[in-house]
Amino acid sequence: MAGELTPGWKIIGSYFVNDAFVSVGDENNPEDSSLVNAPEQGGSLWTTYEIQSGNLQGLGFGAGLFFVGDREATLPNDLIIPSYVRADAAIFYKRDNWRVGLNFKNLFDKKYYESQGFVLRPGAPFTVLGTVSVEF
Handedness of CA 131, 61, 90, 65 (dihedral sign): negative
Average pLDDT of every residue of the chain:
92
How far apart are alpha carbons 88 and 90 in whole angstroms? 7
Which residues fall within 8 angstroms of residue 94, CB to CB, at 6 or more apart? 50, 58, 60
Residue 115 has pLDDT above 80, yes or no: no
Provide φ and ψ at 71, rounded to 5°: -150, 155
pLDDT of residue 23: 85
pLDDT band at 1 (very low <50, low <70, confident <90, very high): very high
How far apart are alpha carbons 117 and 75 in whole angstroms? 11
Predicted TM-score of the model (pTM): 0.83
> What are the structural domain ranges in the chain?
2-134
- List beta partners, residue 50: 60
Residue 29 has pLDDT above 80, yes or no: no
pLDDT band at 117 (very low <50, low <70, confident <90, very high): low
Query: pLDDT per residue over 48-102, tens digit each?
Result: 999 999 999 999 999 999 999 999 887 777 888 899 999 999 999 999 999 999 9
Contact predicate 63/88, CB 8 Å:
yes
Which residues fall within 8 angstroms of residue 59, CB to CB, at 6 or more apart? 50, 51, 91, 92, 93
pLDDT of residue 97: 94
Average pLDDT over residues 99-127: 91
